[in-house]
Amino acid sequence: MSLQHYLVISSILFSLGIFAVLTRKNAISILMGIELILNSCNLNFVAFSRFVTPAETIVGSEVFRFDGQIIAIFGIVLAAAEAAVFLAIILAIYREFGSIRPDEVDTLKG
Amino acid sequence: MVVPLISIILLAPLASFAIFALLGLAKRNFPRQDYLSTFAMLVALGCSLLLIQEVTSEPTPLTVEWLSLGSVNFSMGFYLDSVTVIMLIVVTLVSSLVHIFSIGYMHGDPRYSRFFAFLSLFSFSMLFLVVSDNLLGIYIGWELVGLCSYLLIGFWFEKDTAANACKKAFLTTRVGDVGMFIGMMMLFAEFRTLSLYGDTGIFEAVATLESGQIAWLSIAGILIFCGAVGKSAQVPLHTWLPDAMEGPTPVSALIHAATMVAAGVYLVARMFPILTPTSSLVIAYVGGITALVAATIAIVRFDIKRVLAYSTISQLGYMMLAIGAGSYVAGLFHLTTHAFFKALLFLGSGSVIHAFHAMHAHHDDAEHTEDAAHEHADNSLVHEHGSEIPPDQDMRNMGGLRRKMPLTFITMLIATLSISGVPFVFSGFWSKDKILGGVLGRAMEWNSVHHYILFAMALIAAGITAFYMFRLIFMTFFGEPRNQEMHDMAHESPWVMVVPLIVLAVLSFPVVNTLWFNKDYIEPPPQHHIPAPQHAYVSPDSKIGDANFGFSLFGVSTAQAAEEDAGPDTAQADDAYHIHHRAHNIAMVLSICVAGLGILLSWLFYHRRRFSAEGVATTFRPVYNLFWNKYYFDEFYDGVLVALTVWKSRLFAKFDLSFIDGIVNGVGKITRDIFAAFIGFFDNRVVDGFVNRVAEVTWAAGGRIRKIQTGAIQTYLFVVLGGIVLIILIFRLF
Amino acid sequence: MEPLKNIESLAYFSPEILLVVFAAAVIIADLLIKNRESELVAYISLVGLGCSLVAILITNSLINSNEPIPLFFGMIRLDGFAVFFKILLLLATAATILFSLRSEELDARLKGEYYALLLAVTFGMFLMASSTNLLMIFISLETVSLTSYILAGFLTHSPRSSEAAFKYITYGAVASGTMLFGLSMIFGMAGTGDLSQISSQIASVLASGGVSTLSVLIAITFILAGIGYKIASVPFHMWSPDVYEGAPIPITAFLSVASKAAGFALFLRFFHVGFGKPEILQSIDWGFILAIVSALTMTVGNLAALPQRNVKRLLAYSSIAHGGYLLMGAVLLTPEGLGAIFFYLIVYLFMNLGAFYVVVLIANEAGTEMIDGYRGLATRAPLVAGAMAIFLFSLTGIPPLAGFFGKWVLFYAVIGEGLYWLAFIGLLNSVVSLYYYARIVKAMYFETSEDTNGLSFSTGTFALLSVFAIPTIFIGLLNIFYTFSDKITLQ
Amino acid sequence: MLLSLMIFVPLLGMIVVLLLPRESEELIKRATLAFTLVPLVLAVVLFVSYDRSSAGTQYFVNVPWIDAFNINYHIGIDGLSVTLLLLTALLGPICVLASWRNIEKGLKAYMALFLLLETGMLGFFAALDLFLFFVFFELTLLPMYFLIGVWGGPRREYAAIKFFLYTLFGSVLMLVAMIAVYLNSNVINGVAEGVRTFDIPTLITLAGTTGHALADSTFQMWVFLGFFIGFAVKVPIFPFHTWLPDAHVEAPTAISVILAGVLLKMGTYGIVRINMAMFPEGLAIFTNGVGFWGNSLALLGFINIVYGSFCALAQTDFKKLVAYSSIGHMGFVILGLAAGNSAGINGAILQMFNHGVISAMLFLLVGVLYDRAHHREINGFGGIATKMPVYTGITTLAFMASLGLPGLSGFVGEALSLLGAFQEFELITILSTIGIVVGAAYFLWTLQRVFLGQLNPKYEDLPEINKREILTLVPLGILTIVLGIWPNFALDMFSESVTNLVNVLDAI
């Protein structure tokens, strides 16, 4: 499998994420969309790290640099943290508004 | 010696005004302002008399730097020649007499001392105007006398008529003055100076102009003359002078008969050298028309002061005509003689009015309240002239006063004889004769139709003058009292008022005008652009009544004596002299005839009552109306305004029927209408409007942007996405 | 110089470490203290800021100005640029803490978390100001964002606050996600996360045609979305009015100054270091796009501010507009531009924080954020009103107040590069802005309120007020503030 | 040093006044008066000690201020500025006296702002560094805004913000032009060398040197426009004038006095100091250029004169009438400046000074009447001359001076401007003389409607003008008369400088 495949998949994921974020009428689904976006990015990083970053040869055997993977891991961590905060805020919203439909949370405007 | 004298002449009256003004700031009054002012005038008079022998044949301007702008400089200074001196004497003399007269006339007026302060200020301004050696100085004095005239006409400002009259006077003259100022600007633009005399002066510069390039000079001359038209109440700007009679009678005598109105003539005389044939002719015609028009109007007036006012206008026209026709000396001579007898007439009328008025408490506020009350109804400035004549000025209430007030009668009679040109013994005759002779002389010399016409005008005017002046005398002093109870009130005026009358009466005899008979005391300045055998034409003119007055007294033709100094008798000069000789004889004969005719008719009409004036009036109704309505001048001006504003006229509650009031109100109302509308439109719509539009658009934009801010998070995210796409697109496009 | 290893780096990292330590200290102290009313934690965090400031100055003395020190294998970099922003951010945070002390809307029981979070977010911002690696950039950004989300929603039982938090996080998450995608693409193209290498790498691959300009462009734009959302530039600004209005006022102040400043730090470093190379610029002239964005940002901000009645929201829009002004300096990679931004940020710090402080005070005393609540303030609290007038007119840019000089340096930089149109738009905007700032002044001075009893403030209040007001008057008039920026360079 | 003292004494005064207790009003007033009297004394000293023979700037101070931009604190006076400084310093105490009784609320703030305003104005006229010049120019905005907005009439808010927005708009353009000038100040023949500068005298010389970027005529045209619009709003020149009537009508008396007396002059002063001296090429395009823009400047002057006069004629509000009359009179200044010759410019500057004095008088007089009658409706009065003879006398003097009666100061400036202008553009000048007649018309008409005629029974017991008010008016009245009789008293000060300016203009 070549880099292109990964990129295509990641862009599809990204697009799906954006689509979800823009269209879903439920805060949770929006969160999912966000997760999709982040994961598409992680996929990108890993793929790029695998295919693009030059391998260094240490003692005859090829050794890959793992920058991309590392970034991806951090990405996952941050995504988790974000999800946590998001859910907490959604709870607050539900408490205040009795709903988690994003389009009903619009008292601040203009 | 000259400078200190002139300084005293100027400073004395100024000081008397300054004292009043400064004390006024402290809300006080000088105890005897009247004596102060009178004294100041007498001092000035003395100095002026002293100046007589200071006059040198080669007058040199005494100037100081007034403004220095690096490249251009303006200088102020005095110019003393015979004309100046004569004007000084006339002004100071008449002014002193009027001061004295006023002590009696204005007695008991609440603003008594203010009156004298203003008189002093006026005298100062007039004298300054007279002695100034440059146009700027003249203009300054010019406007200052205008101010004083404004202040004095409006002296009884509680009367709306007075309030209107003073404004009208100021504005009408101002219209002329603007013309004069434009003329000054033209001269300045050409010569880079406004001083008249000296090597750098305008007159020197004018001399150097080729006759090819004097077209603009004619325009400049006419424009300068506009100032005179305003001040000397020449047609078409004459309408303010009759209204000016709202002022106290001494003011009319001093300002609106003797001095200020004559300043216009003086100005034209001063500017004599820059006059071109065209401008001279314009001046002469304006003068002639004025003389005729005013005289004819005067015939039908009943307000004694207005009769005199119109007669003043017509006499001023006379002088203008004279100078326009080149009779420089004659014009000025008539100026002086007229100054005396017209002042006398006014003071006399004042004495009459005073007599009638004595019973009314003196012009105190109560009395003004009455006659002002009915006009104060609306704030608009309506005032129909002659429509309501103050009873104490209406000749129809007078009659038979000669027994009541003999002195007044006699003195006024003398003046009347003088103004009517009764031969030989009265100065008026000589001056008028000089004018007629001069005009006719030039006419014959050039045999120019214009001058014949002018001569005719002058002649007719002379006749009419005699007619209406005697009409005045007859209606006032002869016959039976028409208004008995007013008649009974009448009484001779106190001495303080009568003495000036007598003095002026004496001055109406030529013997006192000796200056004019000193043969080369007055020399007309050269006119560079009038192609005429100057000399031959000047010489007979320049020595009125020829060296010794005795001859003329016995009816020996002046022209005959002209013989003696016809100057270098070139053939041309010679026959020029003969022409003038003949001219003068004809003129004299004719003038005597018309004067006699006028007096006779007037006698028949108003004394013998052979014909009834009313009958004539009815037979010649249209003519009569024409005269009565003063040639519809005011109506004409109003007509123009109406035409201007007809589409608005409904909005104008009341339209004003007098000239400047019309202009001001009219323009005022037009302005308040059109301009207020226009401002409303322009300032508020266009300028502010534009700004407001911008503001509104901005606001609207703000509102739009708010609309985008729906509050729904997903729209925001849409915008984000859209933004990203847009940015990328922009990139691709550029 | 050679990037330092982790252990060596720690010494230079002391300011950040101190912040973290004190954040922990705050939480522990909060657990220990029984008295809910005690404000000890606040003072602890202030002390923490103080220590960190000292540390910053020390580390600053370690670097000789033009030789930056890469830390942690070049993950972050310590240089004058970073130091400047750190000091700025510290001041902003300190101010925020002081505001919070006066603010009455905050829940007393949650002090510990609140101040700890404030320190944490400051820490994140420090990193934003100094990170030179894609990874660090993303992490620091997320750290700041996550903590800001919580702080924005910190008011319990306040729907507005929760809504603010919700919008903030949704928007932020998407924006940062987009940015991360962009970062991944950059990483892919450059094959490295190190900014300094990225520029050369991208230049070479662009030259070799290895990647199309379009892909680089898309990447940059995605990243722009992330950073643009931090500095609230059109079209990524829309969260800010709502969040600013909903959030607690001290946090609003903090976001409008500190997080904007941090955003600019990141922005400047990323674009100047990563994409400042002429080769890249001639293929992708993003300066032009930035010019348009900046024009749009200030215009939109000012126009939208016109109809506002809520002072907080009005100031939110005004801070958007000021973001636009600041962007003008970033459009061109000139030292004048940078210096102008630095100078303007200092001025903006004082005048904007000052204005928000007044809002806090009025919210406490008069209990309203609406313009009408400011009626007759001139008579009720003359000093406060005067200070507010000074801040507002400084924001407008009227001489001799600092705001004018800030604008002056900006416009000077812009016109210096011949962008007359941009300068002109900016100036017209400042005219427009006068209108809505003056509306507050008008309410304070020209109108009278029904209740005229004076408002009383503690001397501490006035002291703090003057701390903002006096610099707002004088900064522009003093020479030094113009010269310091010369030392700060980016490479 | 003397100059700096003069400029910053009022600022010091502001601080002192702010420190005084709010209650002790008398003290505050006295202090303010004192702090405005000091500049007056200094101004007189400068005026007398100024060396009239040399046109150069004197008493100049030049110390570096913001060397990042090579901005210096450079002040100095030449004949023009010292004249206007004298005017400003003179109006200061007069305005304080004029506000002695009729400031009900916030006296302290009022006086403080007034002092700040005075510093701004004095500094503006003395500044010789373009940046400093601009800062002082703007410094007058804030106090003015508050003085109108807080102590003004019913529509004060509108008037204040209008004034502020208009002026700010103008100054924005000025700022752009200013930066442009600065950036090009070191470009010679296309190459930038040396340091840039804001120093006005230096810039003027640079703009004269051929090949210098500042000397380029198209550049000059644009920069000229930038500055001109900035100043035109202040003057105000049609169509930027609409803020003036509102501002005047709403502003308290003293502030109207300052507005008409000084702030308007700031515009014309700027035009002389910057537009004419620095950008003669640009000026030439608008004064004796070809085509549509050929006489635009003179045309603007003409429009101001006629439009202002007729608008004044249309007014029924006494103060508005005076306000519009100022628009008309400033038109003469513009006309004279447009002429660009010795008579014209001297006349214009003299007119600036005279109008400052006369309009100040007029507004003070309106204020006197307003304080008594509490309205300004011209038709609402009538015949009050009987009740207030002294007041009437002074008013007549002011009116006469304002309508350009010879012998009073108003005439000289007006006449010189017209004489100068006539040499350049006959037709426009002749048309402008309409303004003289209309001017007389509306003043006399007002005089009649307010003072003459029957006494309006409403004002049976109208108190006469009091000592303090007379005290405020007398110095101005004296100046009016003195300058009318002996204009050289002022002209000497600046005719030298004008000569230099004219030489520069003629060189183009």
pLDDT tens-digit series, residues C60-82: 888 765 678 888 888 888 888 89
Specify the pLDDT at position C182.
93
Specify the pLDDT at position C265.
93
Q: In Å, how far is D324's CA from the nearest CA of chain B?
A: 11
Show residues of chain B in contact with A23, CB under 8 Å. 714
Specify the pLDDT at position D386.
84
Would you say residue B519 has pLDDT above 90? no
Q: Does A39 touch chain C (CB under 8 A)?
A: no
Average predicted confidence (pLDDT) for chain B: 76
| DSSP SS3 for D388 | coil
Q: Degrees (nearest 5) of the Cα angle B598, B603, B605?
A: 95
Show residues of chain D in contact with C482, CB under 8 Å. 66, 68-69
B721 near A18, Cβ under 8 Å?
A: yes
Q: Predicted confidence band at C151 (pLDDT cuts at 50, 70, 90)? A: very high
Would you say residue B573 has pLDDT above 70? no
Q: How much is the average pLDDT of B315-336?
A: 86
3+ Cβ–Cβ pairs closer than 8 Å linking D and A:
no
Q: Does C393 touch chain D (CB under 8 A)?
A: yes
Q: Predicted confidence band at D144 (pLDDT cuts at 50, 70, 90)? A: very high
Per residue in D453-474, pLDDT tens?
888 888 888 888 888 888 899 9
Q: How do the domains of chain D map onto residue ranges? A: 295-508
Q: How far apart are CA C93 and CA C110, in angstroms?
A: 18
B36 vs C282 pLDDT, higher one: B36
Angle of helix D389-402 relative to helix D467-485, nearest 10 degrees, comes to 30
How is residue D505 written in tokens?
């203009």
3+ Cβ–Cβ pairs closer than 8 Å linking B and A:
yes
CB contact under 8 A, D183 and C416: yes
Q: Predicted confidence band at B668 (pLDDT cuts at 50, 70, 90)? A: low
Q: Predicted confidence band at B570 (pLDDT cuts at 50, 70, 90)? A: low
Would you say residue D322 has pLDDT above 70? yes
Q: Does C431 touch chain D (CB under 8 A)?
A: yes
Per residue in A40-96, pLDDT tens?
999 999 998 888 776 667 677 777 777 888 899 999 999 999 999 999 999 999 988
Q: How far apart are CA D386 and CA D456, in angstroms?
A: 10
Per residue in D253-295, pLDDT tens?
999 999 999 999 999 999 998 998 888 888 888 887 776 777 8
Q: How much is the average pLDDT of D207-231?
A: 88
Q: Does A83 touch chain C (CB under 8 A)?
A: no
D116 near D161, Cβ under 8 Å?
A: no
Q: Which of B237-246, B397-406, B659-668 has the lowest mean pLDDT?
A: B659-668
Q: Which of B127-136, B373-382, B677-686, D323-332 has the lowest mean pLDDT?
A: B373-382
Give whole-number Cα distances, A82 to A40, B485, B712, C238, C242, in Å: 16, 117, 21, 21, 20
C351 vs B569 pLDDT, higher one: C351
Give all chains having 3 or more CB-to-CB distances under 8 Å with chain D: B, C
pLDDT above 90 covers what percent of chain B?
2
Q: In Å, how far is B679's CA from the nearest CA of chain C?
A: 25
Specify the pLDDT at position C347.
93
CB contact under 8 A, B144 and D444: no
Q: In Å, how far is B695's CA from the nearest CA of chain C?
A: 9
**Residue C310, phi then psi, degrees to nearest 5:** -90, 120
**Residue D285, phi then psi, degrees to nearest 5:** -60, -30
Q: Which of A14, A41, A85 sits opposite C169 (nearest CB)?
A: A85
Q: Does B714 touch chain A (CB under 8 A)?
A: yes
Q: How far apart are CA B342 and CA B322, in angstroms?
A: 18
DSSP, res C455: P
Per residue in C454-487, pLDDT tens?
788 888 889 999 999 999 998 888 877 777 776 7
Q: In Å, how far is A85's CA from the nearest CA of chain B?
A: 17
pLDDT above 90 covers what percent of chain D?
34
| DSSP SS3 for B69 | strand
- Which H or E run contains A7? helix A3-23
Q: Does A102 touch chain C (CB under 8 A)?
A: yes
pLDDT above 70 covers what percent of chain B?
77
Specify the pLDDT at position C66.
64
Q: How much is the average pLDDT of B520-538?
A: 59
CB contact under 8 A, B709 and A103: no
Q: How much is the average pLDDT of B45-51?
A: 86
Structural domains of chain A, with CATH? 3-102 (1.10.287.3510)
In 3D space, the residue among D440, D473, D442, D445 whose CA is nearest the CA of residue D369 turns out to be D473
Q: Does C225 touch chain B (CB under 8 A)?
A: yes
Which residues of chain D from 229 to 288 reach within 8 Å of chain B, CB to CB? Answer: 239-242, 245
Q: ipTM value of the model? A: 0.84
Q: Predicted confidence band at B687 (pLDDT cuts at 50, 70, 90)? A: low
Q: In Å, how far is C459's CA from the nearest CA of chain B?
A: 39
Would you say residue B597 has pLDDT above 70? yes
User: What residue of C is the nearest CA neighbor of A28?
Assistant: C170
Q: How much is the average pLDDT of D395-409?
A: 90
Q: Which of B53-57, B357-361, B429-433, B690-694 has the lowest mean pLDDT?
A: B357-361
Q: Does C404 touch chain B (CB under 8 A)?
A: no
Specify the pLDDT at position B556.
36
Q: Which of B713, B715, B730 sits opposite C289 (nearest CB)?
A: B730
Show residues of chain B in contact with C217, CB under 8 Å. 728, 731
Q: How many CB pairs under 8 A join A and C?
A: 125
Which residues of chain D from 427 to 456 reach within 8 Å of chain B, CB to CB? Answer: 429-430, 433, 436-438, 440-442, 444-445, 447-449, 451-455
Q: Which of C135, C166, C308 sits opposite A74 (nearest CB)?
A: C135
CB contact under 8 A, C420 and D176: yes
Q: How many CB pairs under 8 A join A and B?
A: 28
Residue with tokens 């006192």, as numbered in its chain: B512
Would you say residue B548 has pLDDT above 70? no
Q: How far apart are CA D391 and CA D376, in angstroms?
A: 16
CB contact under 8 A, D313 and B676: no
User: What residue of C is the nearest CA neighbor of D164?
Assistant: C434
CB contact under 8 A, B716 and C239: yes
Show residues of chain C in contact with A96, CB under 8 Å. 157-159, 162-163
Give the dihedral of Cα atoms B429, B433, B436, B440; nearest 10 deg.
Answer: 160
The 3 state secondary structure assigned to D318-361 is HHHHHHHHHHHHHHHHHHHHHHCCHHHHHHHHHHHHHHHHHHHH
Would you say residue B664 has pLDDT above 70? no
| Contact partners, residue D414, CB within 8 Å, separation at least 6 | D329, D332, D347, D351, D404, D436
Q: Which of D68, D157, D173 sits opposite C482 (nearest CB)?
A: D68
Q: Predicted confidence band at A20 (pLDDT cuts at 50, 70, 90)? A: very high
CB under 8 A, 24+ apart: contacts of C215-219: C215/C185, C215/C189, C216/C186, C216/C189, C216/C280, C216/C283, C216/C284, C217/B728, C217/B731, C217/C284, C218/B728, C218/C182, C218/C185, C219/C182, C219/C183, C219/C185, C219/C186, C219/C189
C38 vs C384 pLDDT, higher one: C384
Q: Which of B672-681, C385-394, D458-467 has the lowest mean pLDDT?
A: B672-681
Q: How far apart are CA D496 and CA D474, in angstroms?
A: 30
Would you say residue D62 has pLDDT above 60? yes
Q: Which of C97-101, C402-406, D127-131, D435-439 has the lowest mean pLDDT?
A: D435-439
C18 vs D502 pLDDT, higher one: C18
Q: Which of D145, D150, D151 would best serve as a mutation to test chain C binding (most C beta carbons within 10 A)?
A: D145
Which residues of chain B from 640 to 699 reach within 8 Å of chain C, CB to CB? Answer: 695, 698-699
- Which H or E run contains C55? helix C40-62
Per residue in B604-646, pLDDT tens?
777 777 777 677 777 777 777 777 777 777 666 655 654 543 3
In 3D space, the residue among B113, B123, B171, B115 whose CA is nearest the CA of residue B144 turns out to be B123
CB contact under 8 A, D165 and C431: yes
CB contact under 8 A, C438 and D141: no
Distance from the first to the final alpha carbon of chain B: 91
Length of chain C: 491
Q: In Å, how far is C115's CA from the nearest CA of chain B?
A: 29
CB atoms inside a 10 Å sphere around CB C151: 26
Q: Does D423 touch chain B (CB under 8 A)?
A: yes
Which residues of chain C from 111 to 150 reach within 8 Å of chain A, CB to CB? Answer: 134-135, 138-139, 142, 146, 149-150
Give all chains having 3 or more CB-to-CB distances under 8 Å with chain C: A, B, D
Q: Which DSSP string do the residues of D226-245 spell out, in sequence order?
A: HHHHHHHHHTT-TTS-THHH
How is residue B318 written in tokens?
């006379």
Q: Does B195 touch chain D (CB under 8 A)?
A: no
